[in-house]
Amino acid sequence: MEAIQSLWPFLAIFAVFFFFMIRPQMKRQKQEKNFAKELKKGDKVVTKSGMHGKIADFSEKLNAVIIETGAGKITFDKSSISMELSQTLNNPKDEKEKK
């Protein structure tokens, strides 16, 4: 019985880590994966490095996106597109309402 009671603090710590650290990260990864799947030609996007542009084409072979910018067309990995910055670019009034 004492062995079970001594395990409760460890189980509580694991539950806290799971619900406050692991689960939100898994949810965020799922959202980013869905965002990358839903990209289509003509969408305005921002890369994680700050490059603004419009999607011109996709390269399924390289798992990349060809972005048209003011300087020309550049190829980026799909994972380099920022979900938050792109959503802010496309929905600026939603951000103002949150503040």
Query: What pLDDT, in 10s, does the model give residues 7-50?
Result: 898 999 999 999 999 999 999 999 999 998 899 999 999 999 99
Domain match, 46 and 94 both: yes
Q: What is the pLDDT confidence band of residue 94, given thresholds at 50, 70 and 90?
A: low
Range of the domain at 34: 1-38
Domain match, 54 and 98 both: yes
Whether the pLDDT of residue 75 is over 80: the answer is yes
Using the 8-state DSSP alphabet, how is residue 99 labeled? -
38, two tokens: 């839903």
Give the span between the Cα atoms of 68 and 54, in whole angstroms.
Answer: 5
Domain match, 18 and 51 both: no
Give 25-34 contacts, CB < 8 A, sequence gap 24+: 31/83, 32/83
Using the 8-state DSSP alphabet, how is residue 80 labeled? G
SS3 at position 59: strand
